[in-house]
Structure 1
Amino acid sequence: MTETKNVILEAKNVVVEFDVRDRVLTAIRDVSLQLVEGEVLALVGESGSGKSVLTRAFTGMLESNGRVAQGSINYRGQELTELTKNEDWTSIRGSKIATIFQDPMTSLDPIVTIGKQITEVIIKHQGKSAKEAKEMAIDYMKKVGIPEAEKRFNEYPFQYSGGMRQRIVIAIALACRPDILICDEPTTALDVTIQAQIINLLKSLQKEYGFTTIFITHDLGVVASIADKVAVMYAGEIIEFGQVEEVFYDPRHPYTWSLLSSLPQLADANGQLFSIPGTPPSLYTKIPGDAFAMRSDYAMQIDFEEHPPIFSVTDTHWAKTWLLHPDAPKVEKPEVIRDLHEKIKTTLTH
């Protein structure tokens, strides 16, 4: 937690709870995070680890039965947990912090033309006239790679393919001129070749516009090509954090080892992929010790009894695992992820 340079959003000890059938589910458990201007931070972890819930707390988009029960979320000096009504969020949501969701079909209004959906955002967030907004909308459409943008301006979402619709969702987010762009698994609903195109598009736009990005994904392969820093989430907390190279090539938490072991590039000769045994713990009850202990081959007695603190690996890299305690037995990471750099390079060149 030593970062201080141009931190534009800082979450401190955030706890998010949901009321579910007379019980309380703690979806985010004591998360602290700093977002540095101009960087791409990847949030990675299995489905249900809390990635989307955490970022929805940054935009006031938790479901009605959810709340930030504890902690602080500070955006450029403004305390976001103090915003309680929808109208309080209008100056933040979209214009300051915009989100691209994973399913472009649900993000677009099916009965409004593509052009109108972009121009409305430009008029609202940039205060332009209808004529200026149309010119800018067509320009954004071209920027995100829509062919014959002028002609396609008056078409409806159903006339666009899934990949094209996702490009329009990105154009709408750009039209908000956000400070922070949250990409919530923006390629999950798309096929592999389109995924690669969308990732490349996001990378080039990030370079051009310089916005800060939170990239949510369960696909660690995507992370290597797009992120500066990585936060690994499990059972509602960040269990490892570091520069992308550190987390990829010197991971320290057994859960991160498991995630890396299941990379498609590391399938065995029969095409078999590693899968993590067991299921995540229930978030309805307090979790003693390390939440991953039940599924880990490396768990020690203390992992079931006491929650691990943050252990620093370098100034920019830390993990919450008792394996980093000076008295812990020395264990090697799994064979399959040793020399990961070489293995991934080899699969790319074949």
Structure 2
Amino acid sequence: MTEKKKILEIRDLVVKFTVRDAQLTAIRGIDLDLYEGEVLALVGESGSGKSVLTKTFTGMLEKNGSIAEGKVIYKGEELQNFNSPKQWLKYRGREMATIFQDPMTSLNPVLTIGTQITEVITKHRGASQSEAKQIAIDLMERVGIRDAAKRFDDYPFEYSGGMRQRIVIAIALACKPKVLICDEPTTALDVTIQAQILRLLKDLQKEYEFTTIFITHDLGVVAQIADRVAVMYAGQIIETGTVEDVFYDPRHPYTWALLSSLPQLSNPNEDLFSIAGTPPSLYTKIAGDAFAPRSPYAMQIDYEAEPPMFKVSDTHYAKTWLLDPRAPEAEKPSVIHNLHEKLKKVHGADAALREELANGE
């Protein structure tokens, strides 16, 4: 088996924002590697830092945000040292592209669909207008737009939500990026269209051989598309591993809570599980494990000292004192026991239904 090549390295990354004369630390010392050809899912609650983290890869942090410490290394280049749009130009779009959650905020409502795709192609690939138009139509067809040549001069409002998301995907792929960042691209879509977009992304990855970073809070989506998972909480990665590692042998109490919240595991006669409390404020320094105040498994040390990242296996790591040899044994919630078998049954029926719905478009 050929070892995958590492293309992106994040080391000790700290990202801060200045908000009303106060400092908010959105990313708190993250280490992460991305490997060529994989699908890495970033999961966690809203505000955990998923989108902020990926914005450091493309130089798209808001004006009040900056990398305070650490490195973002892409193919040997230290991106945290870039300080001008010109430096980012050769990376943004051409090396890394982003698909955002709401296609209407990504598309210009007063420009035709064709103009928005060809603009990217002429700028980054040096194609003529006629060449760019043909490439654009080919891309539109590839992402599933019927009668692409006729729809080329339509405006975004003339497309449905699912079709607009397909166009955003086409624009992102126009420069043949090596890394595609998908920032919750299916959240605003209904279940039928979501299934189609996920299937499209999987097919396109095989065809174009790009690496994918998929940001989501939907663990059901993660189970369908990801190779590897990084769980984020309060600006840190608290568990990382293969999909099998994280779904079937989770080790951090926060991961247990996220999995317990899966709607697929709910009992019709019981309330859906929810995580008690709220995430901590990132305006102040956090002592210990950030999840401790919300965790029924918290020990005294969780409030006093930040846990290291413990190694579970060669592919699996978790940042919790429960993995210290001195810690008492903790039993994970009963609802996620035999999770593999439970999800297999649910996803088997669910996948069949989605496939049927998708094919019926």
- Report TM bin, short chain: over 0.9
Q: Give the letter for the 1:327 counterpart.
A: R
Deviation at 1:349, TM superposition (A): 4.2
**CA deviation vs aligned residue, 1:87-126 (integer Å, no higher than 9, x gap):** 2211111111100000100000101110111111111122
Please give the root-mean-square deviation of Cα atoms over the aligned residues, in Å.
1.0
In structure 2, relative to structure 1, the CA distance for the partners of 1:157 and 1:271 (3 Å cut) is farther
* Letter in structure 2 aligned against 1:29: R
1:140 corresponds to = 139
Aligned to 1:14: 13
- Cα distance in 2, alignment partners of residues 349 and 63 from structure 1: 42
> Identity of paired residues, percent?
70
In the alignment, is residue 130 of structure 1 matched against residue 129 of structure 2?
A: yes
Aligned-partner Cα distance in 2 for 1:311–1:337: 22
| AA of the residue aligned to 2:210 | F
Cross-structure match for 1:57: 56
Mapped to 1, the partners of 2:94 and 2:215 lie a distance apart of: 20
Which residue matches 2:271?
A: 272
1:13-52 mapped onto 2 (5 Å cutoff): 13-52=12-51
State the shift of 1:176 in Å: 1.7
Aligned to 1:212: 211
Q: Which residue of 1 aligns with 2:326?
A: 327
Residue equivalent to 2:354? none
Name segments (4+ residues, structure 1) moved above 3 Å: none
Rounded to whole Å, the distance in 1 between the matches of 2:200 and 2:4 is 27
Structure 1 residue 272: Cα displacement: 2.8
Deviations 1:158-190 (A, max 9, x none): 000111000000000010211111000001111
Within a 5 Å distance, the mapping from 1:1-350 to structure 2 comes to: 5-270=4-269, 272-350=271-349
Structure 1 CA distance for aligned equivalents of residues 125 and 225 of structure 2: 28
For the residue of structure 2 that corresponds to 1:332, the secondary structure is coil
- Structure 2 distance, partners of 1:269, 1:112, is 48
> Shift in Å at residue 5 of structure 1?
4.2
* Amino acid corresponding to residue 37 of structure 2 in structure 1: G
Once the two structures are TM-superposed, the CA of residue 85 in structure 1 deviates from its matched residue by 1.6
Unaligned runs of 5+ in 2: 350-361
The separation in 2 between residues aligned to 1:292 and 1:193, in whole angstroms, is 35
Aligned CA distance change for structure 1 residues 135 and 85 (closer, same or farther; 3 Å): same
Task: State how far apart, in whole Å, the 2-side matches of 1:137 and 1:216 are.
Answer: 26
What letter matches 1:30 in structure 2? G
- Gaps spanning 5+ residues in structure 1: where? none
Helix, strand or coil for the counterpart of 1:230? strand
- Distance in structure 2 (CA, Å) of the matches to 1:54 and 1:247: 20
1:28 partner amino acid: I
Count of aligned residue pairs for this structure pair: 347
Query: Which amino acid counterpart does residue 15 of structure 2 have in structure 1?
Result: V
| Rounded Cα–Cα distance in structure 1 between residues aligned with 2:108 and 2:115 | 10
Aligned residue number for residue 355 of structure 2: none
How far, CA to CA, are the matches of 2:309 and 2:60 in structure 1? Answer: 29
Q: Give the TM-score of the pair, scaled to structure 1.
A: 0.97
C-alpha distance in 1 between matches for 2:83 and 2:38 = 29
How far apart are 1:273 and its partner, in Å?
1.5
Between the aligned partners of 1:12 and 1:345, the Cα distance in structure 2 is 36
- Counterpart CA distance in 2 for 1:303 and 1:78 is 37
